[in-house]
Amino acid sequence: MPHAIRIHSFGDSSVMRYEEIPTPTPKPGEAVVSIEAAGVNFLDVYHRLGVYPIPLPITLGQEGAGVVQAVGDGVTSVSVGDRVAWTGIFGSYASVNVVPANRLVHIPAGLQTKQAAAIMLQGITAHYLATSTYPLKLGDTALVHAGAGGVGLLLTQIAKMRGARVITTVSTPEKAALSRAAGADEVILYTEQEFDSEVKRLTDGKGVQVVYDSVGQTTFDKSLESLAPRGMMVLYGQSSGKPDKIYPTVLQKGSYFLTRPTIVHYAAERAELVQRTRDLFTWALDGTLRLRMEFEFPLKDASAAHDAIESRKTTGKILLIP
């Protein structure tokens, strides 16, 4: 009997309950996938706590990879036995998931299923941030917060591929070493230095062309201060909470641009989803993109995985293994 984790309440008393469910049957256009690995992301924490409200009850997790077990009527893009991965579909904290077939991508030979699960949400996020939201180019300097996190490590590597100079912020010397190994040109320990002042020092007072900020409340104001005139502030997460109320006039100090992108709008069309994952899978296979998958938890220990990611004690990717 397959198992799933379902969420029945939000807030400080939220509980993830491990329970048995019947084996699902695919509807037309769907595929049932036996999950071999599911990714854990801060987005899941937001959903659990009700920061982003969702209908209840629901099985958490929007990213995973596994083997197709059954397909519904009209499905021709995948077949039983195919190795596939997905993101943006709830139900991944489970041993099986039902996924619209047009949101599945094939995992190429040579790439581990766990690697595919680890790369989907964070990899696509890093890809669109560096290539679409602010398309980095030779001569640009980028500030990447949480440089040793899952997105941060991937974003740093992709930014370097595109010829940018990368400055990251991290909390510990151990995380600094990981960030440098990913290619960061400069690493700021924000626990010891004011990062905005340090950014200005490292850029001869000019500032950076773009800030990629997943932290939010505690970094937002100083991130703006780190920008060069006409620079872009990319707020793509809020692990420390929502920034305080933002007035557009604050942007006039440097004619700054501000955007709050989400993966929903950068992989909405199948062609774009396939293109981004093709790049990521190719880079992972040839070693251009290195994945860090140090933390694995059994499916039944999803609560511990959330505790780990919320405490910021992890680096790279966290996976749940059914």
Residue ranges of domains in the chain, CATH in brackets: 3-121+267-321 (3.90.180.10), 138-260 (3.40.50.720)
Average pLDDT over the chain reads 92
| Residue 285 token pair | 């296979």
68 — alpha (psi -120 to 50), left (phi > 0) or beta?
A: beta
More confident residue, 21 or 280: 280
More confident residue, 205 or 316: 205
Confidence of residue 1 (pLDDT cuts 50, 70, 90): very low
pLDDT score for 54: 83
Confidence of residue 10 (pLDDT cuts 50, 70, 90): very low
For residues 186-197, average pLDDT: 96
Say whether pLDDT at 63 is over 90. Answer: yes
The pLDDT tens digits for 22-46 are 888 999 999 999 999 999 988 898 8
Strand partners, 34: 67, 96
Confidence of residue 311 (pLDDT cuts 50, 70, 90): confident
For residues 145-168, average pLDDT: 96
Confidence of residue 9 (pLDDT cuts 50, 70, 90): very low
DSSP state for residue 316 in the 8-state scheme? B
Of 299, 296, 295, 297, give the one whose Cα is nearest residue 18.
Answer: 299
Confidence of residue 265 (pLDDT cuts 50, 70, 90): very high
Helix axes 150-161, 173-181, angle to 10 degrees: 40
pLDDT score for 2: 46
Statement: the pTM of the whole predicted model exceeds 0.85? yes
d(CA 272, CA 102): 12
CA 308 to chain centre: 16
Distances (CA, A) of 196 to 145, 168, 179, 233, 240: 12, 11, 18, 13, 18
pLDDT score for 6: 59
39 — alpha (psi -120 to 50), left (phi > 0) or beta?
A: beta
Percent of all residues in the chain with a pLDDT value above 90, rounded to a whole number: 76
Confidence of residue 160 (pLDDT cuts 50, 70, 90): very high
d(CA 237, CA 309): 14
Q: Amino acid letter at 232?
A: M
Reported as half-sphere exposure (CB side, CA atoms, 13 A), residue 173 has a value of 0
Answer positive or negative: Cα dihedral of 167, 173, 175, 179: positive
Confidence of residue 7 (pLDDT cuts 50, 70, 90): low
For residues 70-79, average pLDDT: 98
